[in-house]
Structure 1
Amino acid sequence: MPSDTDVGRRAPRRDATANREALLAAAADALGEASDAPLERITNAAGLTRRAFYGHFANRDELVLAVIDVGAAKLNAIAAATDHPHAPTAIALLGARLWDAVEHVRLLAGMVVREPYAAHAAEALSPVRERLRALVERGIAEGTVRPDIRPDVLARLTESAAISVLDEVTATGIDETSGRRLVMLAVLATAGLSWQQSADLVDSSPELADAGSDRA
């Protein structure tokens, strides 16, 4: 049985972990809405003082980098676990599963183009991009993805199509289910499928129909 001394030593460590997680969660929410969210807004949302904040991070930039790493790890894990023998289905499935991590996607989409975090965010997300490019290359090789655009360029265009849907949903308030479907249609169209082929694939594939049922 732990002594009172042992309990006393462990409690602050638990509190420190909880405080750090609260800061990361508050920062992810705030930065997802506005990439220039001030530190005061983040600490207030976490229910902590600036003094408590500096017990975990040297400055705001260090916090932002930590948030980027947490979000990227989530998206990288999703990408690594997503596959299907049919490349277009795999591409659409990746889009749908990333959509279900929309909070991380929104945050990182803003950071990839924002200095001084762009290089760090791009590097942190490289596994997602490598996965998408591999799927595109496989689709070109098997004849299911358009071959007239270089794989690296097509992968970037596919990523941009998904981000455009996110921007549209943010601007217009499209509901979650419609947004997920729109992401799949957009990436499939970019990959070279016609609008009818894209719709038929999304509607006929059990994996795509169930893409939103295993949200993390």
Structure 2
Amino acid sequence: MTNTTSSARRPRRDALENRAGIIAAATAAIAHDPRASLDVIARNAGLSRRALYGHFEDRDALIREILAAGAPRFNEIALDIHDADAPVALARLTARLWRKAAMVQVAAAIALDDAHVQETADFLAPIRRTVLDIVRRGQDAGTLRADIPAPTVARLIEETARTVVGHLDADSPDSAPLAVKAVLSIAGLSWRESVALLTRHPDILDIPATEKAA
């Protein structure tokens, strides 16, 4: 009976392992080549194209699966930002998200492209709510720009983040400070104010207090 039960379960377990292998292979292939085809992904996963189609109907379905798997890690960050000062909260959120995005920069850039922008927005709704809340608090306190409605500022911050993820070199030691300062500039801070903020709060970038953020 035990053997029968094990045999009955094996196909399901193998199917899950194949699916996980496809996702891992897809992430690696996309990191190497943003336009990696399903043929390349299937080959990297050790499967035929037909076998891959047994799990995902097309490339978009596979990308959605990668998004769904990665979104919780990003959303957890948004829920862990508690700074009362809005510019500091925005800087810390950006830095923490950048550290996550930098590990899968190319995949993240694809996930944020126009073809998947609405799906990404849905998956990352907690982050979007956090950004909007920070912007509103900053506008009320007079620490973030108030010449533009809060939802528009939040959307501009999103668009800036998309550009940063797609174009900055994640391996560069300057990438995190640049990402933070780009977002803060859209939120209304001058470059001098951004540098001063990062100097006052070196923990945001995990740099020594004596090191300049410029």
Question: Normalization by structure 2: what TM-score?
Answer: 0.81
Using a 3 Å threshold, how does the CA distance of structure 1 residues 184 and 65 change in structure 2: closer, same or farther? same
Tell me how far apart the structure 2 counterparts of residues 47 and 81 of structure 1 sit (CA, whole Å): 39
1:178 matches 2:174: yes
Moved over 6 A (4+): none
Q: Deviations over 1:91-118 (max 9, x none)?
A: 1111111112225564344344433x34
Tell me how far apart the structure 2 counterparts of residues 162 and 119 of structure 1 sit (CA, whole Å): 15
1:186 partner letter:
A
For residue 85 of structure 1, give the secondary structure of its aligned residue in structure 2: coil
Using a 3 Å threshold, how does the CA distance of structure 1 residues 114 and 149 change in structure 2: closer, same or farther? closer
Tell me how far apart the structure 1 counterparts of residues 91 and 12 of structure 2 sit (CA, whole Å): 43
Tell me how far apart the structure 2 counterparts of residues 167 and 120 of structure 1 sit (CA, whole Å): 18
Q: Deviations over 1:47-79 (max 9, x none)?
A: 222233233223333222222222333322322
Aligned to 2:166: 167
1:129 matches 2:125: no
Q: Deviation of residue 166 (structure 1)?
A: 2.8
What aligned pairs does 1:1-216 form with structure 2 within 5 A after superposition?
A: 3-32=2-31, 34-102=33-101, 103=103, 106-115=106-115, 117-170=116-169, 175-210=171-206
Q: Deviations over 1:159-198 (max 9, x none)?
A: 233333333324xxx6343211211122122222222221
2:127 partner letter:
V
Identical aligned pairs, as a percentage? 37
2:205 partner letter:
A
| Higher RCO (CA 8 Å, separation ≥ 6 residues) | 1
Using a 3 Å threshold, how does the CA distance of structure 1 residues 169 and 130 change in structure 2: closer, same or farther? same
Tell me how far apart the structure 2 counterparts of residues 135 and 105 of structure 1 sit (CA, whole Å): 25
Using a 3 Å threshold, how does the CA distance of structure 1 residues 184 and 112 change in structure 2: closer, same or farther? closer
Tell me how far apart the structure 1 counterparts of residues 168 and 205 of structure 2 sit (CA, whole Å): 20
For residue 56 of structure 2, give the secondary structure of its aligned residue in structure 1: coil
1:82 partner letter:
I
Using a 3 Å threshold, how does the CA distance of structure 1 residues 122 and 202 change in structure 2: closer, same or farther? same
Greater shift, 193-202 or 138-147, is seen at: 193-202
For residue 81 of structure 2, give the secondary structure of its aligned residue in structure 1: coil
Question: Normalization by structure 1: what TM-score?
Answer: 0.80
Gaps spanning 5+ residues in structure 1: where?
212-216
Tell me how far apart the structure 2 counterparts of residues 82 and 68 of structure 1 sit (CA, whole Å): 22
Question: Does structure 2 retain, via aligned residues, the 8 Å contact 1:24–1:67?
Answer: yes
